[in-house]
Structure 1
Amino acid sequence: MRKRLPVLLLVFLCSFTIYAQEYFPKNDGVKTTDHHYTAFTNAKIYITPTRVIDNGTLLIQKGRVIAAGSRVSVPANSIVVDLEGKHIYPSFIDIYSEFGIQKPARPGRGRRSPQYDASRKGFYWNDHIMPEKNAFDKFSFDTKKAGELLRAGFGTVNAHVADGIVRGTSVLVALDSLDTHHMRVLDEKAAQHLSFAKSIASAQNYPTSLMGAMALIRQMYKDAEWYAGGNAENRDMSLEALNANKSLPQIFDAGSYQNDLRASGIAGEFGLAYILKGGGDEYQRIREIKATGASFILPLDFPEAYDVTDPYQAGKVSLADMRLWNQVPGNPAALAKNGVPFAFTLSGLEKTADFKTNLLRAIDYGLDKTKALEALTTVPAGLLGKSDIGNLNNGSYASFLITSGDIFDKETTLYENWVLGEKYTITDRNIKDIRGEYTLNAGGKTYTLNITGEPASPKPELKSDTTKLSSRLTYENGWLNLFFSPETEGSGFLRLSGHVTTPETFGGKALLANGTEGSWTATRKSAYDEKEKKEKEEKFVPEAVPVTFPNKAYGFSELPKQENILFKNATVWTSEEEGILENTDVLVKNGKISRIGKDLSAGGATVIDATGKHLTAGIIDEHSHIAAASINEAGHNSSAEVIMEDVIDADDINIYRNLSGGVTSIQILHGSANPIGGRSAIIKLKWGLPAEKLIYGNSPKFIKFALGENVKQSNWGDTQTIRFPQSRMGVEQVYTDYFQRAKEYDAKKKSGKPYRFDYEMETLAEIINKERFITCHSYVQSEINMLMKVAERFNFPVNTFTHILEGYKVADKMKEHGVLGASTFSDWWAYKYEVNDAIPYNAAIMQSQGLNVAINSDDAEMSRRLNQEAGKTVKYGGVSEEEAWKMVTINPARMLHLDDRVGSIKEGKDADIVLWSDHPLSVYAIAEKTFIEGVPYYDYETMKQMQASIARERNKLINQMIEAKNKGMKTQAPKQKEEKHFHCDTEVYGI
């Protein structure tokens, strides 16, 4: 019994302690509970942007709005604040902030080898997927930054860790001015954040590209569905968090209109609704942006004008960049006009103080003030699903601004920012405006004192007769102090101080330069003239130049329309059995080739006299890397999950350049970073249309494979030697292993048993099932043989060998295997070791063996002169002119399984045709007109007119920027943006 007593006693004492803490008063001084109200009367109150009360009362208590309106009953225990002539607005909300969050550190890398596996256990297989991260755990209130935000009018911020593809949840924070406020965190998990950018805190290699990031996000969502179904064998805390966060708002940092569309595409696939943080260029494709149905978060980091006073320097700036400066401030107005909901963010601004300047600029460019206020209050609150912030409805948080007038007037003074019922003073609202011209009497002398600046921070200009004197003025809490030297330098200072009771006349004590005391007075002769100041500071709003499609040089002001056309008396290169037809007519109707013959007529069709000219099918480039935002996903030895269609860049000027060379269709191939690359994009070069409208309808399915030096990393550098494979033998093993996995995956899928959906395996299974076709980057005969043998082992043929520069050595074996196409260069050789045996007769020899041969470019410059490249086969091998022309028209069409649609002039096919000034294989031939489905996307004469128009527009924009500089606006130095041309190995070397 004695052994148990201490335990019982301990339990009793603990219980008593808890009881005492709950029910006995603490010895920490006298506490009182504040039950008073604060009533703000006689103010213009913006309860919401569209519900405004003139001469109303706002009643608050304990951080909440009790009532707001014109007939509010004010309780007896209220502090009444008379705000006659003042305005009250809800405090602003920034839902895309990094406030109080320290960015993760980048790991030191040096010459470290790449990291292919995740560094974490129990989480998702990719370090850049971190939905389990919570900004709340990283949050530390930043008093200094909070002050900046409060002075800009913000009362609430949604802070997140801006790092990674899936970044976890954000924390919603009130910017109260107290250091320890129990209500500061409004929501620990307010939203989930995503982006296309990898985490800087992880060195994991995959993904290395935009398309890789998109593929990773897709696979992540599929894995989350699989995990939610209870199918996973091991716990994954990342997928658990992702599923738990599904009900939260999903904020995606896109950063450009093209990425807006890419992100919204993923959202649509998975039934999600992303809130997209845009890039400010949404106006360029406003119709497509509206069609997403998404809400947006818009930055206000408008570009500065370029300093183009030097004509040479001005030449560095592209027309697109000049337009960006001219047009971007109109982006919010464009979205508002089209009914696209948006909120504003401070993100991207170098200084918080620039926020109001840029916001007013957006208003000058046509943004409605009510929409501007919504974008700072009710819209961000609504996007977060919060009804108690961003408004002054009964029960909402008492976070509001007190201003001298219209908050979107440049001259309006922001007095106070109340957050959760706590006042943060920005400018003393009781301050008297002492600006104006005064007669100052001090020390027996009379001076002229002119006070300008802002009411709370006035600036003095003091003169004795016409001599300007050095002076300094401080004005705080109604007390004025003025210091100046009445004589020459070194003679001492007059120090004047006094309390301002009325701005008409005031004075006080003067301490003279000789040390004696006296008095001084200042009598106002005239008040400060705001109108005069405004005239001096006349705002500069340059005339906005029209948006074109795409919004750069050679863009269309109006998209061209389909035409019915009759070409008369042309030399027609049919690329069919009919061969070359002299003096022949071709009728194009409803985008199709309707009739071919002589003496044709068609009522209503535009007639083009093609006498002495040549009409051909549009050129098809089987191997291209233009019109893409990225080319290689180099993070793994297989990237069959990535999709080139995801990264089509419809604004690439090389599309227009290709049209000028008669090219109408291309296959955008993944690069050669890995043995198994990504899925191809086959597009028509419909210049001016958005990316999705360039893709062939019911597009054939292709994928890029690669052999040789690139995939085994022999030319990547000394640190890139750990990824399998590192030899040509290893490349074969990669194919065998992956196809075996895909075979097993496909069998399980077809069995009806539950299976984990895998985009990579789906793609490879399509190859085995002959539903997707391989285009393989190849050089050396031994490797060409190897891939054919691997394909035969899994019972499918290789569709196309591209480059194929040793194809002449194995043409018979390729024919026997069933290779549908050999796509080669005309005369490239010796640019790396494995090309040493290349010869310019390669195309002719392969054709002689019965192979379907095409000439491709793999180069943005060469692709616009493929007609000339095809002509080289006439010299090297004696190929006929007609067969040479087929190598860039019908032959690549057959390789791409498109020969029923394009590649020749045949009745019923798409009217993808080119009118040449001369023999199409000639170096002198000009593509005068290039049509796609009967639409004139390129016209030589129109191009020359565009050049003149571009010169005029550049001159106009240069003059606008010079005027902006002369009016004191900030400028930036001109920058020459290097145009990047993609090839197979782009983004491989030096990864």
Structure 2
Amino acid sequence: MIKYFLTGLFTAGLLYSAAAQTTFPRNGVYDERPGVYAFTNATIIVDPQTTLQNATLLIRDGRVEAVGTNVSLPAGAVVADLKGKRIYPALIDIDSDYGMPVMTRTGGPGGGRGGVPQMESNKKGAYYWNQAIQPENDASMIFKANPTQADELRKLGFGAVLTHQHDGIARGTGALVTLADDRENTLVLKPNVTAHYSFSKGSSGQQYPNSMMGVVALIRQAMYDADWYKKGGSKEQANMSLEAFNRNQALPAIFEANDKLGIIRADKIGDEFGVQYVIRSSGDEYQRIDEVKATGASLIVPLNFPQAYDVEDAWDADNVSIAELKHWEMAPMNAGLLAKAAVPFALTTAGLKNKADFWANLRKAIENGLTEEKALAALTTVPAKLIRVDDQLGTLQKGRLANFIITSGNLFSADNVIYENWMRGKQYIVTNKDAADFRGTWNMTIGTQSNLKLNITGKSIEKPEYQILIDTVKITPKVALSGDLISIQVQLDKKKPGTTRLTGYRTGTTIKGDGETPDGKVITWSAERLGTAPASTSATSTTAGPASTTALATVMYPFVGMGNARKPKAETVMIRNATVWTNEKDGILTGADVFVTGGKISKVGKNLPVPADIKVIDGTGKHLTSGIIDEHSHIALMSINEGAQSSSAEVRMADVINPEDINIYRQLAGGVTASQLLHGSANAIGGQSAIVKLKWGEPAEGMLIKGADGFIKFALGENVKQANYPNPGVLTRFPQSRMGVEQVYMDHFTRAKEYAAGWAAYNKLNTKEKASAIAPRRDIELDALAEILANKRFITCHSYVQSEINMLLKVADSLHFKVNTFTHILEGYKLADKMAKHGAGGSSFADWWAYKVEVHDAIPYNAALMHRQGVTVSINSDDAEMARRLNQEAAKTVEYGGMAEEDAWKMVTLNPAKLLHLDSHMGSVKVGKDADLVLWNASPLAIYARPEITMIDGAIYFSLKDEDPKRDAMQAERGRLIQKMLAAKSGGASTTKPTFKRARMWHCEDIEGVLAEGEEEGK
């Protein structure tokens, strides 16, 4: 019956009867057959929850006509007896680039051809202004079958894929296609199935965006533009991209995120526009699983587990971070942890360098907590449902397409064999069922020698691997198979040259045959199968790693060195008998107590009663202050500058917060509790600030200070006009001079005034008038500038030179807006009186000068001189390293300028709180304010002062006494994981050599390009 199945059925399958519906004429006669097939006596997995024993699957014309244990077979059906075999729905991959053209960039990374920046779109036609926005792309229009790719996926059990062009930020629509060998007309099951987005600009050589925050802003602006176009903008202009954008809104939307933080970022965009994205993740979401679950998003999860590192060399091992070591161990647990947390997900082959690793990695995921039922659902029903084709694919229910696979047994078993893959009723042979499966462990007797074992292993039953064991001696024989016949040549005794030749025939679990020894003696031999053979070392996956979950594998918050085992929580605490620097009229109190409850300072005084069962911290001989606030910082960010345009007011630093930056922890150790995360100084008008508390372990959203006023970065000087650009001969971006900088402000604020007036006029219309009017186009860049004019957003301006500071003050006065803070302001002492009159504060370095032309006139008395003119002055870092010792920077103002110690201390606490409009609840030790406190071992202005405790909102985020135990625990964990990695290598896992990676310390002028799809960092 099996041989009949392989010949007659295969021939008939090639003549799929749906060909009768083709629009293509045929050169020859038409041979149309009914296409009715019955598969009987099989174990049929109809869907992940439904398994039928000894059942029949009946298909007709490429669809399931019936499935069950009592199916009547129609006349003329081709019948195949599949006793002992299984039928599963064919697998579905919904993140594929199958059949798509190779993406090629139109210019260098982040720029145009020949090193000349490309400022505007080179795409001809009525399309969007930015080449990275291409929603008009239609995968079905550019799809071209690729037999090699199709065969690779068919062998893995996939029958259909959702493919799209992985190019750009808005990528267009995806097409659902089968993996059959046929014309594209019959392969495309459904065009325009999904809309696709990403954080990669792809092939675009256009300069904008050159940062992740620019990418987010571009997506947001495009969506607002599409809405405007739909509501009347199409009457003013034709735009094929915006038309496509609007068409695509009705489709399931898939967003490719770069990592776990990207999932949160993408979902935030979706929330703004009422879109729930399906998000293609990267396999590290277990590290932030609570936040991922809270998005409500379904995921598309890859199985691209990291290789083990070669850590045999101790110096090389030092280049591997604790996060990398732990991710190697925990990546196989990701899918199981997602399932346990009830996060819906599909699985994909995307991200695998070698797709042949798919099944090995999936089995590893199952060993590490993923159930087989969830795994099957993630490859069948879930992807079908996510892209709204569950009425066609994903199960073997009546009426579904006849996409299924025939296997030797359990799909997830290591020794399972996929025999056939059927797509729309068309058969593809993956493995010849005539090839007998000899794999297993066999007790072997050769002549009178019976202490032998034959291990037959390998992924393929057609090309297995062989090993004969004589006691502890391992011998590799030469073997040939032909059906149930086996021929073996082996040298059984290494001391005696010569080959023993054996030939036998398999019947069930027994092999019997004859042979001849090297001396010509005829012998008999036999083998009895005992069971599954041990795994072959030579067949180990290139990504082999930990075999199973252990209780030692735990998540850190955040998932980096010095991360917490659990997130800190607010406590009720009494700090007793400390010297308290209040920053209030009470001044410095000695022997005072501070009571903290509910994240707030509840009481300040002496000899306060201590409630029962609360934590008491002895402050005897120590100094308690409010936390340091850094007015100008660039830590905890993925990128700093969106400098492709002279104004990037539309970008938000909140979109690129990196809560896993180790500088957060280091600065907590220096007493810093809050920072303004600023855009850089690459352009005249930069991006919107993020004001955060340094809550180590919390997600980005949890770090943001709720209710804080909006701020924005402006800049003057060399950086803005690109005087320090490495190749000034190719500059094209305006402005190129200090005069041009002034004109940028005049132009943009004039436009912002007109923009605000246009909205004000529109909002005054009554309902009837609005119905016939076209609303102004929402411009998120001008929104930010209009907020400045309305005194709802406030400026922090990078500044050095007196003349330029004067210029901006005049521009601000003429256009009726205020400059809140001049940061750096190293020539502030020259015009402090004008700053005070304008109402501008100054945030200065204590003693930085002479590092570029603009700062040759800087002096260390600057802060004191501005303070004496009535300017609110703070000392900032602008440097990840300096922020760890801002207390010492404040102390320099005592040395240079004779500041009183309390006034000097306010320059890093209360004054920056005032500049950031946060002094109502931060910056001093006062009842009702946030419990952001630092307990120092000495006066905070002393050179040897060091924080012992740093508290934010009543939770202890840094404790000096916990430092050594925490570090010891981290080293112990490193040691455990390195030993596990060494064991993996000795067990046959391939490894990769560690490479040194230096964490980037951002500065004002740094530019970070957005990588194209597939492009590697540093290339």
TM surpasses 0.5: yes
**Shift of residue 27 of structure 1?**
9.1
The answer as to whether partners of 2:92 and 2:394 remain within 8 angstroms in 1 is yes
Shift of 1:391: 0.8
Given candidates 728, 732, 745, the residue that maps to 1:722 is 732
Deviations 1:120-149 (A, max 9, x none): 231001100000011222222111111111
2:648 aligns with: 639
Partner of 1:279: 282
Check 1:875–1:167 CA distance in 2 against 1; reply closer, same or farther (3 A cut). Answer: same
Q: Is the contact between residue 457 and residue 536 of structure 2 (CA under 8 Å) also seen in structure 1?
A: no
2:104 counterpart residue number: 105
Larger mean Cα displacement after TM superposition, 711-720 or 907-916 = 711-720
User: Residues 440 and 520 of structure 1 are in contact (CA less than 8 Å); yes or no, is this contact kept in structure 2?
Assistant: no
- Number of the residue aligned with 1:197: 200
Q: Which residue of 1 aligns with 2:765?
A: none
Q: Which runs of 5+ in 1 are unaligned?
A: 1-20
CA distance in 1, matches of 2:184, 2:790: 64
Shift of 1:702: 0.4
In structure 1, the partner of 2:61 is 62
Change (3 A) 1:743 1:404: same
Q: Is the 8 A contact 1:929 1:940 kept in 2?
A: yes
Name which of 325, 350, 355 aligns with 1:352.
355
Matched with 1:212 is: 214
Matched, 1:473 2:493: no
Give the CA deviation at 1:205. Answer: 0.6
Q: Which of these residues, 579, 584, 591, is aligned with residue 592 of structure 2?
A: 584
Counterpart of 1:79 in structure 2 is 78
CA distance in structure 2 between the partners assigned to 1:801 and 1:218 by the alignment: 30
* 1:901 counterpart residue number: 921
Q: Per-residue CA shift, 1:337-365, capped at 9, x if unaligned?
A: 11111000111101111000110111111
1:571·1:584 contact (CA, 8 Å) conserved in 2?
Answer: yes
Q: Identify the match of residue 370 of structure 1 among 344, 368, 373.
A: 373
- Which residue is 1:526 aligned to? 528
- Give the corresponding residue for 1:921: 941
- Kindly indicate whether the alpha-carbon contact (under 8 Å) linking 2:582 and 2:926 is maintained by their aligned counterparts in 1: yes
Separation of aligned partners in 2, 1:204 and 1:101: 23
What number of residue pairs does the alignment pair up?
960
Structure 2 residue matching 1:634: 3-state secondary structure: coil
- Secondary structure of the 1:683 match is strand
Paired with 1:72 and 1:950, the residues of 2 have a C-alpha distance of: 62
Would the alpha carbon gap of residues 951 and 739 (structure 1) be closer, same or farther in structure 2, given more than 3 Å must change?
A: same
**Which residue of structure 1 aligns with residue 704 of structure 2?**
695
Q: Which amino acid aligns with 2:700?
A: A
The alignment status of 1:221 with 2:227, answered yes or no, reads no
CA contact (8 A) 1:576 1:904 kept: yes
Task: Measure the CA separation in 1 of the matches of 2:718 and 2:403.
Answer: 63
Matched-pair contact (CA < 8 Å) for 2:453–2:470: no
User: Aligned partners of 1:392 and 1:27: how far apart in 2?
Assistant: 32
* Match in the other structure for 2:3: none
Once residues 556 and 192 of structure 2 are traced to their aligned partners in structure 1, the CA distance between those partners, rounded to angstroms, is 42
Given the superposition, is the C-alpha separation of residues 439 and 688 from structure 1 closer, same or farther in structure 2, using an over 3 Å criterion? closer
Secondary structure of the residue that 2:186 maps to in structure 1?
A: coil
Query: 2:554, 2:512 → 1: CA distance?
Result: 56
* Unaligned ranges ≥5, structure 2: 1-19, 763-772, 1010-1017
Quote how far apart the aligned CAs of 1:368 are: 1.1
Deviations 1:593-612 (A, max 9, x none): 22222211131343222111
- How far apart, CA to CA, are the structure 1 residues paired with 2:134 and 2:184? 30
Once the two structures are TM-superposed, the CA of residue 432 in structure 1 deviates from its matched residue by 2.6
2:671 matched residue in structure 1:
662
TM-score, length-scaled by structure 2: 0.89
User: Does 2:818 correspond to 1:809?
Assistant: no
1:135 matches 2:139: yes
Distance 2:452 2:337 in 1: 50
Q: Give 1:279's aligned amino acid.
A: S
Identity over aligned pairs, percent:
48
Write the deviation string for residues 617-648 of structure 1: whole angstroms up to 9, x where unpaired: 11000000011111111111100000111111
SS state at 2:796 partner: strand
SS at match of 1:457: coil
User: Quick check: 1:624 aligned with 2:633?
Assistant: yes
Structure possessing the higher relative contact order (Cα contacts under 8 Å, 6 or more residues apart): 2
| One-letter amino acid of the counterpart of residue 238, structure 1 | S
Tell me if structure 2 keeps the 8 A contact 1:591–1:935: yes
2:500–2:515 contact (8 Å) kept in structure 1:
no
Q: Which residue in 1 is equivalent to 2:403?
A: 399
Q: Distance in 1 between matches of 2:385 and 2:94?
A: 11
Instruction: Please tell me whether the aligned partners of residues 466 and 476 of structure 2 are also in contact (alpha carbons under 8 angstroms).
Output: no
Matched, 1:827 2:847: yes
Q: Which residue of 2 aligns with 1:257?
A: 260
Moved more, 448-457 or 127-136: 448-457
Match of 2:95 in 1: 96
Tell me the SS of whatever aligns to 2:148: helix
CA 1:691/1:161 → structure 2, altered by over 3 Å: closer, same or farther? same
Q: Is the 8 A contact 2:325 2:977 kept in 1?
A: yes
Residue 498 of structure 1: CA displacement?
9.0
State the Cα deviation string for residues 419-467 of structure 1 (Å, max 9, x = none): 22122222223433345466679xxx99999462354323455899999
Q: What's 2:799 paired with?
A: 778
SS in 2 for 1:183: helix
Per the normalisation by structure 1, the TM-score is 0.92
**In the alignment, structure 1 residue 541 sits paired with structure 2 residue 548:** yes
SS at match of 2:38: strand
Task: State the shift of 1:804 in Å.
Answer: 0.3
From 602, 616, 622, the equivalent of 1:607 is 616
CA contact (8 A) 1:438 1:522 kept: no
**Residue 903 of structure 2: aligned partner:** 883
Q: Which of 597, 603, 607 does residue 605 from structure 2 map onto? A: 597
Question: What SS does structure 2 have at the residue aligned with 1:665?
Answer: strand
Which whole-Å CA distance do the structure 2 matches of 1:953 and 1:880 have between them?
48
Hey, what does 1:711 align to over in structure 2?
Answer: 720
Which of 305, 309, 316 lines up with 1:302 in the alignment? 305
The answer to whether the Cα contact below 8 Å between 2:257 and 2:266 also exists between their aligned partners in 1 is: yes
| 1:563 partnered with 2:583 | no
Distance 1:72 1:739, change over 3 A: same
Deviation at 1:949, TM superposition (A): 1.0
Aligned partners of 1:125, 1:816: CA distance in 2, in Å? 43
SS of 2:266's partner is helix
Equivalent residue in structure 1 for 2:187, among 180, 184, 202:
184
CA distance 1:895–1:432, shift in 2 (3 Å): same
Q: For 1:449 and 1:391, how far apart are their aligned partners in 2?
A: 43
- Contact residue 446 and residue 464 of structure 1 kept, 8 A: no
Contact 1:871 1:881 in 2 (8 A): yes
Cα distance in structure 1, aligned partners of 2:950 and 2:471: 76
Contact 1:574 1:581 in 2 (8 A): yes
Equivalence for 1:16:
none
Partner of 1:42: 41
Note the alpha carbon deviations across 1:777-800, whole angstroms, 9 max, x for none. Answer: 000000000000000011122100
Q: CA deviation at 1:286?
A: 1.1
CA contact (8 A) 1:563 1:591 kept: yes
Deviation at 1:880, TM superposition (A): 1.1
Paired letter, 2:464: P
Equivalent residues of 1:504, 1:523 under 8 A apart? no
